[in-house]
Structure 1
Amino acid sequence: MSNDIKRVAIIGTGVIGASWAALFLARGLDVIATDIAPDAGPKLDAFIEAAWPALEELGLAPGASRSRLTFTANLDEAVTASDFVQENGPERLDFKKELYRHLDNILPPRTIIASSSSGLTMSEIQSACEHHPERCVIGHPFNPPHLMPLVEIVGGTRTSEDTIERVSAFYSSLGKRTVRLRKEVPGHVANRLQAALYREMVYLISEGVVSVADADTAVCWGPGLRWGGMGPSLLFHLGGGDGGIEHFFEQFTGPLNAWWHVLGSPELTPEIRETIVRGVHEQTKSRSVQELAAHRDEILLGLLSLRSKER
C-alpha cells in the first residue's frame, strides 16, 4: 500500500518539516518542499546537509540523494505533483482549516494529507474539507523526525480506515514505529506522557525537593535509561520477578496509589519558570543549542544502533 507514494510534498520547512524532508530523501523519495519564509530554501539545504551524515550512518535506501529535493515558494506547484503531503504549518486552527480547504480543492482524491500537528485534532481541521475529508490524518512525529522512529497516527471523525492503513504502511516502510490512537485527545499520547512526567518534575523543583539538574539526572540516568529499551508496563513486568506483572501489582498497587494521591499540580509561575531557566543554563555550560542538539543526536544514533538488532 506504500508503493504508490514516490513523491512527497513538505509544507513548512521549520525544524519538523526540514527533518521530515531529510528522512524522505534518505528513504529514496522525491521531495518538493514549500515555505513562504524568504530564507527558507537555504536554511532547508543547510539542515539536510548537517543531518545527512547521521542518515548515512543509519543506512540510506537505494537511490537516496539530496539532489532529489526541490524547493519552491509556490504552494500549489509543490503539492499538485505529489502523492503524499506532510503538513507542518503553524499550530493555529484557523490557518490549518483554510489550508486544508484549499488543498482539498486542488488535490486528487487519493493524495493523503498528513499533519504533523502536536495538539490540534484532525476532526477540527478536516471540517473545512468539502470534498475528501476522508484522506486527512494526523501523522505526528517525535523530534527530530529523521532520527526518532515514533509517529502517532490519529484519524478524525471523517478519516477513512483506508487512509489509516495507507499512512501506517507508508510510515512503516520508512522504518517508523507507529502507534494508532483510537480516540482524539489533546496532545495525542506521547506528549501527554511527557507532560505528566514534566509536571511532577516542576512540582518537585518548585517545592525545593530537587534541583533542575538533579531532576534531569534522575530521569535520564534512572528510568529514562531503561525506557530507551522497554516501556514502563513491560519493565514493571520484569520488576515482578518470576511472578511478572501480576506479582508486581500485588506488591506495588498500594504504594502506586499512595504516590498518585500526592503528585503535584504546579503552575508555571514566572518565579518557577525563572528557576528552571536558570537551572537549564547552568547545565548547558555555555554550549550552544546546536552543540547540545549534536550531542543528543550522537546519543540517539547509539541507541538506534542497539535497537536495530531487535527482531
Structure 2
Amino acid sequence: MKKFIRQLTIFSLIFIMTFGVDFSSQKGINVQAATTQTTTTNDGKLRKNGVLFTGISDNKYYKRGVFTKYTGWKNWKGNRYYLKKGKAVTGWKYLRDYSGSRTKYKYYFKKNGRLSKDLFKTFGSSYKKKRMKLELNLVTHNITFLLYDGKTNKYDIPAKTVVCSTARDGRSTYVGNHYLSKGTARSWFIYKKSNPWHYYQWGVFVKGTRSWIHSEMYRGTSNKKLIASTYNGLGTNQTTACIRVQAGNARLIYDIAKTNRYSIPIRIYRSSNKGPFGKITLNDTTGKIPGNQNYDPTDPAFKNKR
C-alpha cells in the first residue's frame, strides 16, 4: 500500500508539472496571482515597461530614468506641479503663475502634488462663503475667482477660472470695477426685449453695467431646452452685453450671490496676461457638444450623464 501511495504521489506531481493545475479556484486555498511589474529600477534608473521614465512618479521628477533636482513648474499628464529640487510641493505655496507673469499667487497643491484648479470642489461649499472677487478678462474670455488672503491683504488665492462669452461688439460688456447685485440673483433670467424671449439659467446682475452673468441660452424655462450653438460659442464675443458661462459655473456664481455675506467686486478688464491658471477654453472642460443636445453637460441636474 505504501508503495502504491508513493507511486500515486509521483504520478500526480508529474501530471501537475506537465499539464498545470489552477489551485486559485479551489476552496480554502489562497494563491496570490502573479502581477506584471510595470515599474522597475536598474542601476539607479527608473523604468516603466522597460523604458527609461520621464515624468513625475511618487511626487518626484525623473528625466530619462534619473531623479532630477529641477525647480519650477511642470505639466504632467494634464496636471500642474511645482517642483522644488525635483520633489513636488504640497499644501499652500506662494508662487508666480506658470503663464509667465510676475504676479504671485497663493496656490494649493493636493497630497499627490497636483495643483488644485477648483478650490470649491477641493474644499466644498464652505469656500463659496469666503471673501472674494471676480476678474473678467475680455481678451481671454475668462472669469477668475480670487479669494482674499488675510496674510497679504490681497485677493491672491486663485480658486477657479472659467470660460465665458461677452458682448459681440467688444464694447457693451463694460470695462471697470463693479459689484455683483446679490439681491437680483434668480434661477431663471428672461430677456423680454427680444422676440422671441431669451431664457437663461442662474442670473445675477452686475451693478453699474448693462450685464447679467448667466448660463447660455434656452428656448424656455426648462434645462432640457438648451440651444447647443450658444454653448459651443463660449469663449467668444456672442452676446448683446451679458456674460455667459456654463450652467454649472452660473450656478456657482448664483450660490455665491445668495449665500456670501460679503460684497462681491468684479473687475472687467482687457489684458494679454493669461492669469493664475492660464487661459481656459471650452476644450479644457467638455469641448463642444452635438448640435442636437438639449442640456448643458455641466448642469448639476445632469451630473449623472457626464
More strand by share: 2
What TM-score does the superposition give when structure 2 sets the normalisation length?
0.21
